[in-house]
Structure 1
Amino acid sequence: MQFWSGTPFLNTTAGLELVPMLDDAGYDGVITADHLIYPKVLNSPYPDGSVTPPWPPETEWPDSWVMIGAMAAVTTRVRFTNAVYVAPSRPLLEVAKQVATAAVVSRGRVSLTVGAGWMREEFDLLGQSFATRGKRLNEMIPALRALWRGGWVSWEGEHYRVPEVMIEPHPPSPVPIMCGGESDAALRRAARLCDGWVGAAYSWDVAVSYVERLTALRREYGRADEPFEILLALLEVPTVDLFRRAEDVGITAVMCAPWMGADGVDPNDVRTFRGPVERFADDIIAKCR
C-alpha cells in the first residue's frame, strides 16, 4: 500500500513547506490540483450538481507543473501526480513539454493524472473546445506517449496532428498516465487507455464498488492482467487493518491528510503539521510495510 498526501487548499508556499516533511517521514507521493481561474460569472455547474464549487473564489490553485518542479527540488524520493490535471483545456504540445520537463527535473518521479474537466469557462479562455474535450483526451493519451519517446516524433490523429519534431528534454522513462473522474466515460477511459485511476474520498462500500467496476472494465478491454494503480481516499477511521483490507481488494494507494482535525494544529502554520504527519507515519505507514 502506498500513502499519498496533497497540497490542494493549502496556500502555495505552505505546500512547499509541507512536502519535505512528507518526504522525510516516508510518505510515497504528493498530489497537486488544477484550476486556471475562478470566473466572476460562472455558469458551468459543478459535477455534484451544485450551483457553485465548494471553495471560495480566492482559493489558491498554483500551476501543477510549476509546483511539482519546485517540490521535486526540495525532496529526494516522493513521487508526484495530479488530482486531476485538466489536460484537454491545454494544447497537446504544451502538456507534452510541461510533463516531460517535470519528469526530467524530478528524475522520473512524476505521473500524469488527467481529467476531462467541467468548467467551460476555462476552456473558452484557453481557446480549446469544451464540446470535444472527452474525445480529444482519449486521443491525447496515446499521443503523449508517442511524443515522449525521444528523438524525432510525430502524431497523426483525428483531433491532433504533429509533424515530425523533436521535443527535448524527453522523460527518462515512460510517464504513467492515470485518469480521474467518476462518470462511465472516465472509468472506461481509465480501464482502456491508462495505467490507473484516481478517485476522490469515499466510504468503504463505495470505494469497493469503484474497484469492482474498474476490474470488470479492464477485463472487458482485455487488460485484467496488466498492472493498474487505484488511488483514492477512504472516509473511514484510519487503521492498519483498514489499509490492509483496502490493498486486498485492489486499492494500491490512499490519500491522507493526518493534520486535518488533529489537536494543536494551526492551519496557517505548517510547522504544526509535523507532529500528525510523523505520528501517522509511525502508527500506520510503518506497520503497513
Structure 2
Amino acid sequence: MRYGAVFPTADVRSAHQTRDLAQAYEDAGFDYIALAGHLLSARPGRYPGRPDYQYAAPFLDPFVLFSYLAATTSRIHFLSQVLILPLRETAAVARQAAELAFLSNNRFELGVGISWQEAEYRAAGQDVHKRGARLAEQVELLKLYWRQPLVTFKGEFHEIDEMGLARLPKNPIPIWFGSQFGEAAMRRAAALGDGWMPLGGSTDALPRFKEYVSEAGRDPNSIMLMGSMTVGKEGPDALVTEAQRLQGLGITHITVNSAPGATSDAAVSEVIEVGKTLKAAVP
C-alpha cells in the first residue's frame, strides 16, 4: 500500500513553511503529497451547500509548488488531486508537467478532473457544458505530447501541425482521474486513466468501475485505485480496520486528510501520526 498526505494550504504563510511541511511528510515515510485546489477562488459563502474550503481557499498552483518542493526533497512523489484540466491550455500543461517530471526526477503524477463551478469556467473562457469531452481529448493529446517529439492532431478542441515539446519525459507521467460516480465520468477514467480517485471517499462504485475497465479492453488489475480517510472522524483502530478493508478491495493508494479547520502545522502532526500507524499495520 502507498500512503499519501493532503497538503494543507489555508494558512500557509511562507515558502519556508511549505518546504518544512513537505520535508516532514517525507521524513515520516509518506509516499506522496496530494494537492487539491481550483484555478480561481470564489467569495466565501457563495455556495451555501458547500464548505468554503472547497472553493474559497487561497489555493496553491501545483506546478509552482511542486517544482519548489522537488528541489527541497529527494524521494516523495507529488500528485495533483485534482487539476481541473479543462480550465487550462493543453500545450501549457504538457510542457509544465514534462518539466516538473524532469526537475523532480520523475516524481510527478498528474491527477485531473472536471469540477462543477460554472463561474470558474466562464472566468477561464471555457464552456462548462463541454468539459467532459474536452478533458478526454486533452488526455489523449497529453499522451501524444509526452511520446512524440512532434505531434500532428485534429480534434474537436485542438489542431496541432507538427509541434511538440522536443524533450520528452524519461518515463510516462501517470494520469489519475478524479471523478464522482456518473457513468460518463467513470467510463472516461476506465478507458484513459492510469489510476482512479473516486471523489467523496466512497468505494461502492468500485465493482462497476472495474467492469467499465474490462469493457474498455483493459485489465482492471493494471489500474491504480485510491481510497481516502480523514483524521478525527474515528480512532486509530477504526482507521486501521478501514485501511485493511480498502486493501482487500484492491485499493493501491490511501490519501490521508486532516480534520477540517485544522491549522497547517496541526494538520501535518495529526496526519503524520495516523500515517505511521497505518504503515505499520497495513504495509
Q: TM-score range by the shorter chain?
A: 0.7 to 0.9
Q: Deviations over 1:177-222 (max 9, x none)?
A: 11111132221111111111113343xxx42x12112112112222
Decide which moves more: 63-72 or 227-236. 227-236
* 3-state SS of paired residue (1:256): strand
Does the Cα contact within 8 Å between 1:86 and 1:117 map onto a contact in 2?
Answer: yes
Q: Of 85, 88, 91, which aligns to 1:90?
A: 88
Q: Structure 2 counterpart of 1:214, which letter?
A: F
Show the counterpart of 1:134.
132
Show the counterpart of 2:214.
219
Show the counterpart of 1:283.
277
Q: Deviations over 1:40-59 (max 9, x none)?
A: 5998xxxxxx5453116752
Decide which moves more: 210-219 or 57-66. 57-66
User: Quick one: distance in 2 between partners of 1:226 and 1:278?
Assistant: 29
User: Quick one: distance in 2 between partners of 1:112 and 1:241?
Assistant: 29
Q: CA deviation at 1:75?
A: 1.3
Q: Normalising by structure 1, what TM-score?
A: 0.84
User: Quick one: distance in 2 between partners of 1:16 and 1:100?
Assistant: 22
Does the Cα contact within 8 Å between 2:5 and 2:271 map onto a contact in 1?
Answer: no
Unaligned stretches of 5+ in structure 1? 44-49
User: Quick one: distance in 1 between partners of 2:269 and 2:5?
Assistant: 15
Show the counterpart of 1:47.
none
Does the Cα contact within 8 Å between 1:97 and 1:167 map onto a contact in 2?
Answer: yes
Show the counterpart of 1:46.
none
Unaligned stretches of 5+ in structure 2? none
**Taking structure 1 as reference, are residues 129 and 282 closer, same or farther at Cα in structure 2, changes over 3 Å only?**
closer
Q: Of 25, 50, 53, which aligns to 2:50?
A: 53
Q: Normalising by structure 2, what TM-score?
A: 0.85
Show the counterpart of 2:228.
233
Show the counterpart of 1:192.
191
| Alignment of structure 1 residues 253-268 onto 2, 5 Å | 253-257=253-257, 260=259, 267-268=262-263
Quote the sequence identity (%): 27
**Taking structure 1 as reference, are residues 186 and 237 closer, same or farther at Cα in structure 2, changes over 3 Å only?**
farther
Decide which moves more: 124-133 or 97-106. 124-133
Question: Number of aligned pairs?
Answer: 273
Q: Deviations over 1:24-81 (max 9, x none)?
A: 11111111122122345998xxxxxx54531167521011111111121111111111
**Taking structure 1 as reference, are residues 141 and 273 closer, same or farther at Cα in structure 2, changes over 3 Å only?**
closer
**Taking structure 1 as reference, are residues 281 and 136 closer, same or farther at Cα in structure 2, changes over 3 Å only?**
closer
Show the counterpart of 1:65.
63
Q: CA RMSD in A?
A: 2.7
User: Quick one: distance in 2 between partners of 1:42 and 1:93?
Assistant: 34
Q: CA deviation at 1:252?
A: 1.0
* 3-state SS of paired residue (1:59): coil
Show the counterpart of 2:72.
74
* 3-state SS of paired residue (1:111): strand
User: Quick one: distance in 2 between partners of 1:186 and 1:8?
Assistant: 27
